[in-house]
Amino acid sequence: MAQQGPPRPLRPIVPRSFPDSPAPGPSSEEGKIKRASMACTECKRRRTKCNAADTAGSACSECALHGRECIVDEFADKRRKIAAKRTEETLKYYRGFVDELLEAIRTGDSASIEMMVDVIRSGASHKEIHSVITRILNQNPTDDKKPADAVNNARTDGKMPDMPPDGWP
């Protein structure tokens, strides 16, 4: 075996010295990389950097450069407070719908309940079902009987919201 030349001398290790005052630089907030809170659908699909949040209303730089349609879908992101609020309102709507349905069943006569079940089984839309429920509840006013507290909690005025949430037929 051939020996390699003489070993190189090791360089001396010197303890690290710290400056007395910290160097002026960006604060921890300024030093962080700012990212868009939401990317457009094309940038998500292509996995490119998107600045749709900065452009507010116009196309992001990637979409503008390549002539693509820049669409930001707020409904796709389920982590946001907006999504939580939307889900809460949808659940309130469903709760009000079910509570009114139960109240109509409790207070309606057999013919009305049969008609309501037939409408539901026929595949009617939620709007049509709601109109039948409203008709039944208006036929049988219960002035002496208070509806369940859950009905009053569906909304502040105690009624189901007029507009169904997105995605309802």
Reference 92, options 3, 24, 158, 10; nearest CA is: 158
Q: How far is residue 44's CA from residue 70's CA, in Å, rounded to a whole number?
A: 11
Phi first, then psi, for residue 19 (nearest 5°) are -70, 155
Half-sphere exposure of 166 (CA within 13 A, CB side): 5
Please tell me the predicted confidence (pLDDT) of residue 117.
92
Please tell me the predicted confidence (pLDDT) of residue 24.
58
Please tell me the predicted confidence (pLDDT) of residue 144.
45
Q: How far is residue 89's CA from residue 161's CA, in Å, rounded to a whole number?
A: 9
Please tell me the predicted confidence (pLDDT) of residue 78.
67
Cβ atoms of 164 and 91 within 8 Å: the answer is no
Per-residue pLDDT of the chain (169 residues; tens, 9 = 90+): 566 767 788 888 877 777 665 555 555 556 565 555 678 889 989 998 888 777 777 888 889 899 988 888 777 766 777 778 888 999 999 999 999 999 989 988 899 999 999 999 999 998 899 898 988 888 866 544 444 443 344 444 445 555 555 555 4
Cβ atoms of 42 and 34 within 8 Å: the answer is no
Q: How far is residue 78's CA from residue 133's CA, in Å, rounded to a whole number?
A: 33
Please tell me the predicted confidence (pLDDT) of residue 164.
58
